[in-house]
């Protein structure tokens, strides 16, 4: 019958289309049955791109190849997380074996999706006790729901950079340690021209300034983003309201959101010689440990020093803490040479001499307990501040989430509205933020 034949054809076509579409969604799967002592070429993707960083990582690879004569490493620099994510999902022969990421935000995604291999079994095979090797905070941000699918490959900590000349001129003898001291000093350090416009701002708390994203500032309050069931709990955590209140107080004390934003819009690019701290438009500034090297290379025309970021007045005993993040490394799920890849990951992340040399070369914080205590580390006191922050037991890293940094962007959006004075009912707003984060997380779950 013509009609039933048409139906059969239509059904077959639809079934074929369905199979075709879903067939495109099968990534390749690797294995850990390779012999790491046999000759092999590994592909290593990383995000470093400046000449100094490239030299440091290439030197590291040369040291590895000297130790493992049978392994050749093909290094692919300047790879962003997006490129790596897409490549690993697509699979194929050109996909990397060893991968690294500049952000800890995506670790939850890597682990939950299985895109990065679980390293626990490799550590077990090698007899590595990870708790003895890595600081707890760093282990926390490289695992998700019990899966250690990444390991820290150097860390970054955030502290306060301050202009010593400006401090001297304002009669300030030491960096602020509490938020009320920060507000007091920031007001003293703020200078204006005759027409009322800013010449220098003491401390600009605006969330859009360079590294000032709210999650980093919020670390000083030691927040708890999620409850034990994984539900967002920013509205329930009293620290959240205190954090936003302090930020608004800092803004108001120095002239208000509008004028500060207007001044900020005139700053030069963060990594250029027009950086606002470098051009003395800011007397104090929150930044990562790498800024010190840049200030020295740019030959800053003023005396400067570093200190931990101030803490809330009611948590004065936690002074010394800061925000932690870092580069992470792992093994691609699609790698056919996972045992050889583990040799490279192990060398890069756990070999004390390697970790120290690499940390000194690119001016990052080392990520193992042994390396943090190494006498070979850069002795510069302005850098040592960040080593202490990294080891402080109150320091905070962002908890991994199933959808990467999506909850951070939700917090950022909300924070921009708060600092601009657009949120009139903070409690209601925070409940809405929690609901949003939960909805985003649910959307990412199966």
| Interacting residues toward another protein by CB under 8 A | 17-18, 20-22, 24-27, 80, 82, 85-86, 88-89, 102-105, 109, 113-115, 156, 208, 210-211, 213, 216, 262, 265-271, 274, 288, 290, 325-327, 333, 398, 403-406, 408-409, 412-413, 416, 436, 439, 443-446
For 440, phi then psi, to 5°, come to: -65, -40
For 309-333, give one letter per residue: b (16+ CB within 10 A) or e.
bbbbeebeebbbbbbbbbbbbbbbb
Residue (94 or 445) nearer to another protein, CB: 445
Residue 313 CB, shortest distance to another protein, in Å, is: 27
Residue 367 CB, shortest distance to another protein, in Å, is: 12
Residue (209 or 300) nearer to another protein, CB: 209
Residue (140 or 185) nearer to another protein, CB: 140
For 58-96, give one letter per residue: b (16+ CB within 10 A) or e.
eebbebbeeebeebebebeeebebeebbebbeebeeebb
Residue 420 CB, shortest distance to another protein, in Å, is: 8
Residue 88 CB, shortest distance to another protein, in Å, is: 8
Residue (185 or 215) nearer to another protein, CB: 215
What is the distance between the alpha carbons of residues 324 and 219, in angstroms, rounded to a whole number?
Answer: 9
Residue (115 or 172) nearer to another protein, CB: 115
Residue (109 or 354) nearer to another protein, CB: 109
What is the distance between the alpha carbons of residues 258 and 197, in angstroms, rounded to a whole number?
Answer: 12
For 150-161, give one letter per residue: b (16+ CB within 10 A) or e.
bbbbbbbbbbbb
DSSP string spanning 101-161?
Answer: ES-STTHHHHHHHT-B--SHHHHHHHT--HHHHS-HHHHHTT-BTTB---EEEEEEEEEEE
What is the distance between the alpha carbons of residues 53 and 295, in angstroms, rounded to a whole number?
Answer: 17
Residue 158 CB, shortest distance to another protein, in Å, is: 9
Angle ∠(108,111,117) on CA atoms, nearest 5: 150
Residue (114 or 303) nearer to another protein, CB: 114
Residue 316 CB, shortest distance to another protein, in Å, is: 26
Closest CA to 267 of 283, 256, 255, 280: 280
What is the distance between the alpha carbons of residues 175 and 167, in angstroms, rounded to a whole number?
Answer: 8
Residue (173 or 446) nearer to another protein, CB: 446
Residue (176 or 214) nearer to another protein, CB: 214
Which residues face 101 on adjacent strands?
A: 328
Which residues face 200 on adjacent strands?
A: 191
What is the distance between the alpha carbons of residues 156 and 181, in angstroms, rounded to a whole number?
Answer: 25
Residue 4 CB, shortest distance to another protein, in Å, is: 18
Residue 15 CB, shortest distance to another protein, in Å, is: 13
Which residues face 306 on adjacent strands?
A: 161
Tokens of 437: 């984060």
Residue 435 CB, shortest distance to another protein, in Å, is: 9
Residue (102 or 304) nearer to another protein, CB: 102
Residue 405 CB, shortest distance to another protein, in Å, is: 4
């Amino acid at each position: 019958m013509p009609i039933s034949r048409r139906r059969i054809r239509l059904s077959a076509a639809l079934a074929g289309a369905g199979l075709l579409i879903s067939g495109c969604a099968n990534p390749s799967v690797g294995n850990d049955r390779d012999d790491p002592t046999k000759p092999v070429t590994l592909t290593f993707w990383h995000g470093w791109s400046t000449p100094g960083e490239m030299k440091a990582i290439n030197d590291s690879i040369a040291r590895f190849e000297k130790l493992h004569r049978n392994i050749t490493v093909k290094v692919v620099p300047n790879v962003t997380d997006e490129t790596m994510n897409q490549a690993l999902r697509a699979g194929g022969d050109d996909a990397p074996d060893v991968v690294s990421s500049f952000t800890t935000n995506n670790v939850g995604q890597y682990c939950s999706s299985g895109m990065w291999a679980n390293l626990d079994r490799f550590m077990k095979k090698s007899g590595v006790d990870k708790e003895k090797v890595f600081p707890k905070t760093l282990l926390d941000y490289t695992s998700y729901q019990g899966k250690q699918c990444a390991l820290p490959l150097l860390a970054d900590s955030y502290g306060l950079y301050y202009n010593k000349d400006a401090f001297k001129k304002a009669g300030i003898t030491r960096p602020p340690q509490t938020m009320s001291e920060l507000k007091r000093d920031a007001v003293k350090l703020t200078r204006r021209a005759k027409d009322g416009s800013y010449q220098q701002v003491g401390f600009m708390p605006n969330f859009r300034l360079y590294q000032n994203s709210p999650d980093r500032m919020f670390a000083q309050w030691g927040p708890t983003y999620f409850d034990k069931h994984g539900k967002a709990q920013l509205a329930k955590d009293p620290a959240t309201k205190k954090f936003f209140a302090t930020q608004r107080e800092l803004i108001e004390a120095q002239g208000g959101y509008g004028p500060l934003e207007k001044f900020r819009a005139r700053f030069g690019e963060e990594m250029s010689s027009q950086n606002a701290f470098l051009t003395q438009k800011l007397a104090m500034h929150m930044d990562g440990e790498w800024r010190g090297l840049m200030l020295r290379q740019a030959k800053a025309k003023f005396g400067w020093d570093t200190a931990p970021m101030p803490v809330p007045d009611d948590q004065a005993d936690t002074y010394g803490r800061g925000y932690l993040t870092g580069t992470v490394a792992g093994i691609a799920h699609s790698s056919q040479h996972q045992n050889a890849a583990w040799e490279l990951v192990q060398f890069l992340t756990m070999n004390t001499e390697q970790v120290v040399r690499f940390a000194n070369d690119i001016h990052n914080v080392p990520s193992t307990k042994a390396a943090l205590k190494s006498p070979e580390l850069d002795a510069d006191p302005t850098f040592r501040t960040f080593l202490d922050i990294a080891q402080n037991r109150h320091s905070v890293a962002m908890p991994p989430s199933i959808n990467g940094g999506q909850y951070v962007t939700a917090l950022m959006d909300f924070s921009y509205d708060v600092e601009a004075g657009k949120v009139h009912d903070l409690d209601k707003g925070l409940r809405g933020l929690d609901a949003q984060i939960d909805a985003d997380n649910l959307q990412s779950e199966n």
